[in-house]
């Protein structure tokens, strides 16, 4: 397996896909809803996924593809080489703001992350990691993550999870919100993981993500010494939905022990 070539192609196609998305800003967008009125998808999400699939199928016919919009393969296990793609992560931001969204592309081999790319299309910022070779923002190598105290931490958290909701007792995270220095919510799981990787936020907590939301971010954050687990501290299931807790080292243990212990098993 020529991982250098796969990495170069993945980066090239991601930047090309980003250029197409930037060009689309001047054209009319077709917006549909999926599971609920707030769950959006556009023709650009679909066309971008198809753009990747055409290139991967032509160059690597033996690889499999897991994509959010369903143009890839239906997988029940992660055998062989699998590309995990979210063509636009943060579609609501893409539609409402034309910013704060990203392309997320990861390549896994037998379930092990090899290459992770998160491309902030509007800022032309490519966060990338090849396992064992460090993580980068464009050409700049990112430093290893350092420990931080809870009182000094800024965490990515959506207000949904501290108000009445279906997935978590809101009294579990409310005391954490009071303790930390600040909370932020950017609306793109991939970007929030890239922000943990760059130290712009210290942790990110959310209750329901799919593999394409976190596949690339997991590789980036792990490469820098951060931790990515479910809220129960378990490894993420790469074929299903998960709660997700991304954090700098040290802080992960403290938040788990002092706040998340109240979660039901
Ligand atoms: P998406 O934009 O690719 O759908 C928004 O808080 C974050 O959660 C985004 O990364 C979004 O990804 C993700 N997400 C996962 N499932 C979602 C859903 N059913 N509705 C909206 N956002 C979802
Ligand atoms: Ca979506
Ligand atoms: Ca997503
Ligand atoms: Ca998406």
Domain coordinates of the chain in residue numbers?
Answer: 3-141, 150-262
User: What's the confidence (pLDDT) of residue 40?
Assistant: 96
Question: Whose alpha carbon is nearest atom 3 of ligand 1?
Answer: 89
Class of domain 3-141: alpha beta
Nearest to 71 by CA among 60, 61, 59, 86: 86
Helix (H), strand (E), coil (C) string for 204-242 = EEEEEECHHHHHHHHHHHHHCCCEEECCCCCCCCCCCCE
pLDDT value at residue 193: 99
- Amino acid 1: pLDDT: 82
* Chain centroid to CA 151: 25
What is the predicted pLDDT for the residue at 43?
Answer: 98
Q: How many residues does the chain have?
A: 265
Answer CATH for 150-262 from 3.40.50.300, 2.40.128.90, 3.90.79.10, 3.40.190.80: 3.40.190.80
Residue 45 in contact with ligand 1 by CB distance below 6 A:
no
Write the CA distances from 207 to 14, 23, 186, 224, integer angstroms. 27, 33, 15, 23
Distance CA 136, CA 126 (A): 8
Whole-number Å distance, alpha carbon 210 to ligand 1 midpoint, is 9
**pLDDT at residue 110, rounded to an integer:** 97
Q: What is the dihedral of CA 66, 68, 70, 72, to 10 degrees?
A: -30
Report whether residue 187 contacts ligand 1, using a CB cutoff of 6 Å. yes
Which residues line ion ligand 3, judged by CB < 5 Å? Answer: 86, 89, 213
Q: Mean pLDDT for each consecutive 10-residue tract of the chain (265 residues)?
A: 96 98 96 96 98 98 98 96 98 98 98 98 98 98 98 98 97 98 98 98 98 98 98 98 98 98 88
- Tell me the helices (H) and strands (E) count for the chain, helix number first: 7, 14
Per-residue tokens: 137: 């923002």
Q: Is the CB of 256 under 6 A from ligand 1?
A: no
At 135, give phi and psi (nearest 5°).
-125, 150
Check pocket membership of 90 for ligand 1, CB cut-off 6 A.
yes
Q: Rounded to whole angstroms, how far apart are CA atoms 113 and 132?
A: 11
């Amino acid at each position: 397996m020529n991982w250098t070539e796969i990495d170069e192609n993945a980066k090239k196609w991601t930047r090309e896909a980003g250029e197409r998305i930037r060009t689309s800003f001047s054209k009319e967008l077709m917006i549909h809803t999926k599971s609920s009125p707030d769950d959006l998808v556009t023709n650009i999400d679909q066309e971008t996924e198809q753009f990747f699939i055409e290139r991967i199928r032509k160059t690597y016919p033996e690889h499999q593809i897991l994509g959010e919009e369903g143009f890839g393969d239906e997988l029940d296990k992660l055998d062989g080489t699998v590309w995990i793609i979210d063509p636009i992560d943060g579609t609501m931001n893409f539609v409402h703001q034309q910013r704060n969204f990203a392309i997320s592309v990861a390549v896994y081999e037998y379930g092990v992350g090899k290459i992770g790319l998160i491309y902030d299309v509007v800022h032309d910022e490519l966060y990338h990691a090849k396992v064992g070779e460090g993580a980068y923002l464009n050409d700049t190598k990112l430093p290893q993550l350092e420990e931080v105290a809870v009182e000094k931490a800024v965490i990515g958290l959506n207000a949904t999870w501290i108000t009445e909701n279906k997935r978590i007792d809101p009294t579990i995270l409310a005391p954490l919100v009071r303790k930390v220095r600040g909370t932020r919510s950017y609306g793109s799981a991939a970007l929030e993981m890239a922000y943990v990787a760059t130290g712009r936020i210290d942790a990110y907590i959310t209750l329901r993500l799919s593999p394409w939301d976190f596949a690339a971010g997991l590789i980036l954050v792990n490469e820098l010494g951060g931790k990515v687990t479910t809220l129960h501290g378990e490894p993420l299931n790469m074929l299903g939905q998960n709660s997700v807790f991304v954090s700098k080292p040290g802080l992960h243990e403290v938040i788990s022990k002092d706040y998340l212990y109240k979660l039901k098993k």
